[in-house]
Amino acid sequence: MLPTLKKPALAAILLAAGLLSCNRQPTDKGQSFGDQAPETAFAPTPLDGSSNNTFKLRLEWHGNDSDGIITGYEYRVQGSFNDNTWLYTENFFVDFKFRDGWYTVEVRAIDNAKNADPTPARLRFHVLGPTFDQGVLLMDDEPISGALEALADASYDSIMKEAGYTQYTSWDYQQRFATARPLFVSNDSDATGQREISLSSFTTIIWFTQPTGNLGLNKSSLQDYLDMGGNLLIAGSGTLESLTGETPTGADLPTSGLAFRNFHVLRAKTIDMYADHILSAQPGLPDLRTHYKIPRTTITQYLKAPMNQLVPLFDAQPLYAFNTNYFRDASRNIDVNNEEFAGLACAQLYRGANFNAAIFGFPLVSVVRAGAANVNLVDRKAMTEVVRYLLTEVFKEPK
């Protein structure tokens, strides 16, 4: 027969049992009754020494302390693109994004006496992730065809080559993907046994688009691309409209979206702008002037195109702004570069912790058919200097 316990003794046992059960809760706070260091263990996935076909992994762990409460964890990562420093979290999991390669993750529990597990839990595994080994990708995401498509392609090629970049990859979005999303990381192999090239194979992506383009469809992949250390340049007519899926009206952009998170655009507004010319807002960049080739008619109308006014966050760098020299066109009774847009940014650069992201609210080069002549929206020679500056000085792409 078990001995009968007095009420004070029974209460003490129940209290001790309650404290011990709390030790398995990673964020519980409590009183320490000793100075024993805690212990740490990983959840069973991924298995130690395993190969994993996704670059996104959630690793989970737990801690136990015989005489205290677990208040948090420190973890560090050894492997590509990590600096092997200890980081603190109160959570029992972290969502990681890994590049291609082998990784070792260590975790140690911390108790409320600030004791750390002297023998951290250790997990080693291989990830098939981004390689970033293919240089520059030129993504043509303008839904045009025929002679106009050939003119645009020739203009893009000319800019790249005159900027000193002859080795790059060109993809036509409509021909290659139709309405499908380009893969961020591909785990498939081609006929030679090599992994297929995907977005994460390129160190820099230059994405030309229009409001009907596919930026919005690929926001998640492009966000992953930048988070992992890629460089991205987006340019075209109404780029924010393509990115957000609707015409920006000047309201603040969602903080979870690509434009805010990775480009540091606070707000934007789209307008069909009668382009006069665009002046540099950043010393060292060339002025961009609009050039017109009037067809063999009596037409004198200025070129009209969707363009974005951008309001950068404080840490983003404006590159170009709309000209402040707006004027009245009496023949059409309109303002060209009206007061609402004059002097405001239309292109900006954000240098993130491990990536660079530039957005242009106007085309790098826009070639349109106007009767028997071609109309260039902006000076191609000047834009060549812009591309050279971004690729060489900012993105650090070798020629």
Is 5 a domain residue? Answer: no
Residue 8 lies in a domain: no
Q: Is the peptide bond before 248 cis (omega within 30 degrees of 0)?
A: no
Whether 79 and 219 map to the same domain: the answer is no
Q: For 232-250, how does the pLDDT look when each residue is reduced to its tens digit (9 = 90+)?
A: 999 988 888 888 878 788 8
pLDDT of 171: 94
Residue 9 lies in a domain: no
The residue behind tokens 């076909």 is 53
CA 175 from chain centre, in angstroms, equals 24
Q: What is the structure's pLDDT at 241?
A: 86
| Residues in Cβ contact with 36 at an 8 Å cutoff, skipping those fewer than 6 apart | 65, 66, 67, 68, 115
Say yes or no: 92 and 228 in one domain: no
Looking at the fold, whether 92 and 153 belong to one and the same domain comes out as no
- Residue 105, domain member (yes or no): yes
Indicate the residue among 127, 161, 177 that finishes a domain.
127
Which of 54, 79, 284 is closest to 185 using CA atoms? 54
Q: Do residues 64 and 209 both lie within one domain?
A: no
> Of the candidates 98, 127, 156, which is a domain's last residue?
127
Q: Does residue 17 lie within any of the structural domains? A: no
Give the CATH number of the domain where residue 69 resides: 2.60.40.10
72 and 144 fall within a common domain? no
Cα(70)–Cα(25) distance, integer angstroms: 7
| Backbone φ, ψ for residue 256 (5° rounding) | -90, -5
Domain co-membership, 304 together with 214: yes
- Contacts of range 376-379, beta carbons closer than 8 Å, 24 or more positions apart: 376/155, 376/291, 376/293, 377/275, 377/290, 377/303, 377/305, 378/275, 378/278, 378/288, 378/289, 378/290, 378/291, 379/286, 379/288, 379/289, 379/290, 379/291
**How many of the other CB atoms lie within 10 Å of CB of 80?**
16
The answer to whether the beta carbons of residues 378 and 162 sit under 8 Å apart is no
Domain endpoint, select from 76, 109, 127: 127
Can you give the three-state secondary structure of the chain, one letter per residue?
A: CCCCCCHHHHHHHHHHHHHHHHCCCCCCCCCCCCCCCCEEEECCCCCCCEEECCCEEEEEEEEECCCCCEEEEEEEEECCCCCCCCEEECCCEEEEECCCEEEEEEEEEEECCCCECCCCEEEEEEECCCCCCCCEEEEEECCCCHHHHHHHHHHHHHHHHHCCCCCCEEEEHHHHHCCCCCCCCCCCECCCCCECCCHHHCCEEEEEECCCCCCHHHHHHHHHHHHCCCEEEEEECCHHHHHHCCCCEEEECCCCCHHHHHHCEEEEEEEEEECCEEEECCCCCCCEECCCCCCCCCCCCCCEEEEEEEEECCCCEEEEEECCCCEEECCCCEEECCCCCCCCEEEEEEECCCCEEEEECCCCCCEEEECCEEEECCCHHHHHHHHHHHHHHHCCCCC
Nearest to 309 by CA among 298, 322, 295: 322
Residue 310, domain CATH: 3.40.50
Residue 304 and residue 180 in one domain: yes
Q: Does one domain contain both 119 and 216?
A: no
Position 85 scores a pLDDT of: 92
- Residue (of 219, 214, 183) closest to 198 by Cα position: 183
Tokens for 80, please give them: 């590509």
Same domain, 208 and 331: yes
| DSSP bridge partners of 347 | 320, 360
User: What is the C-alpha separation between 286 and 276, in angstroms, rounded?
Assistant: 16
Question: Does any domain span residue 116?
Answer: yes
Closest Cα to residue 342, out of 361, 322, 360?
322
Q: Let me know whether 191 and 235 are in one domain.
A: yes
Same domain, 204 and 348: yes
* Domain assignment present for 355: yes
Measured CA to CA, the distance from residue 21 to residue 73 in angstroms comes to 18
Q: Which domain holds residue 85?
A: 25-127
Domains contained in the chain, number: 2
Residues 152 and 217 reside in one and the same domain? yes
Phi/psi at 217 (nearest 5 deg)?
Answer: -65, -25
Residues of the chain with pLDDT under 50: 1-32, 294-301, 372
Residues 95-118 pLDDT 10s:
999 999 999 999 999 998 889 999
Task: Let me know if residue 10 belongs to a domain.
Answer: no
